[in-house]
């Protein structure tokens, strides 16, 4: 059921709103959504917007009401259903007063490529535009949420792999200019690292960190930069715990044995766990 009301808040408005879960949408004069919200109790939540007109502490609510011409609500069977519908509408419309969840297209992926014809060549990537890299045969993992955490993990791997193999910047030119993408290329990398990184990026095993630590102990250059190496290893562990493992748990919960999902699906998978 969907009902639309003028935001002049007529006397019968609040009484007409059910006290159950649902979503609500404020629209401007052009009927464009400017804010989408969800509530466990729609009547209580929308009454807060009505009362916000007289409260200085609720500046954002007052601004939304001033900019809006209409408000509509839709009932949901549960708060979880309301969360999922709210997330879907935010990603679809990107309302001006919504920030969280509106930019799923910025969620990053990590991945790599090991050419079967040259199995000792490894190319590492980090991107928010997965379609460009899939064409080049990369195996991608994600989508993850934190660009900062994922970026630090990419930097850590790119730096630590220089001790394991040989950095080969000249190979990057073969991929052209890829928007919103970072690539690092290496030669003389043992093929075993492909399996280790697959398990790591999938959130299944952190063994790659143990192998890195063991290998780096044998490298004089790594020992000379022990503090930096430790920082990189901590960043990898942070990524594994907060991003890769959490995504694997969510995907397993839904019975999805996959390595990557579309960016717009990620939040919905986690919201459905609540």
Phi, psi of 21 (to 5 degrees): -70, 150
How high is the pLDDT of residue 104? 79
List of E strands, 28-163: 33-39, 70-75, 109-114, 122-127, 139-141
Structure tokens at 210: 């143990």
How far apart CA 32 and CA 54 sit, in angstroms, is 26
Coil, strand or helix at 84: helix
Q: Which residues of the chain are modeled with pLDDT < 70?
A: 1-11, 53-57, 100-101, 274
Residue pair 34/27 in contact by the 8 Å Cβ criterion: yes
Residue pair 154/127 in contact by the 8 Å Cβ criterion: no
**Whole-structure pTM value:** 0.74
How high is the pLDDT of residue 225? 92
Could you write out the three-class secondary structure of 44-79? HHHHHHHHHCCCCCCHHHHHHHHHCCEEEEEECCCH
Count of alpha carbons within 13 angstroms of residue 247, beta-carbon side: 31
How high is the pLDDT of residue 171? 86
List of E strands, the chain: 2-6, 22-27, 33-39, 70-75, 109-114, 122-127, 139-141, 166-167, 181-187
How far apart CA 111 and CA 19 sit, in angstroms, is 47
How high is the pLDDT of residue 2? 58
Q: Going edge to edge, which strands form the sheet with 109-114?
A: 139-141, 109-114, 122-127, 181-187, 166-167
Coil, strand or helix at 29: coil
> Which domains occur in the chain, in start order?
2-93 (3.40.1440.10), 105-271 (no CATH)
For residue 122, the cross-strand partners are 114, 186
Which residues are within 8 A (CB) of 51 and not within 5 positions of it... i.e. 6 or more apart?
none
How high is the pLDDT of residue 249? 96
């Amino acid at each position: 059921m969907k009902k639309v009301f003028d935001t002049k808040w007529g006397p019968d408005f609040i009484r007409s709103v059910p006290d159950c879960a649902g979503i609500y949408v404020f629209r401007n004069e052009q009927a464009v959504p400017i804010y989408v919200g969800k509530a466990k109790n729609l009547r209580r939540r929308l009454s807060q917007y009505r009362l916000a007109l007289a409260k200085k502490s609720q500046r954002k609510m007052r601004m939304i009401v001033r900019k809006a011409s209409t408000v509509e609500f839709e009932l949901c069977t549960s708060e979880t259903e309301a969360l999922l519908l709210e997330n879907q509408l935010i990603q679809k419309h990107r309302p001006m007063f919504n920030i969280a969840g509106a930019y799923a297209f910025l969620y990053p992926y990590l991945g790599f490529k090991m050419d079967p014809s040259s199995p000792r060549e490894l190319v590492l990537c980090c991107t928010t535009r997965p379609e460009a890299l899939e064409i080049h045969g990369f195996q991608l993992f994600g989508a993850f949420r934190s660009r900062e955490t994922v970026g630090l993990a990419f930097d850590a791997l790119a730096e630590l792999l220089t001790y394991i193999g040989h950095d080969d910047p000249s190979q990057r030119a073969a991929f052209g200019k890829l928007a919103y993408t970072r690539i690092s290329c290496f030669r003389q990398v043992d093929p075993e690292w492909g399996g280790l990184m697959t398990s790591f990026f999938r959130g299944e095993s952190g063994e790659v960190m143990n192998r890195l630590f063991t290998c780096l102990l044998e490298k004089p250059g790594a020992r000379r930069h022990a503090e930096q190496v430790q920082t990189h290893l901590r960043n990898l562990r942070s990524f594994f715990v907060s991003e890769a493992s959490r995504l694997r748990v969510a995907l397993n919960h839904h019975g999805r044995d996959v390595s990557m999902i579309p960016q717009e699906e990620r939040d919905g998978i986690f919201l459905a766990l609540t």
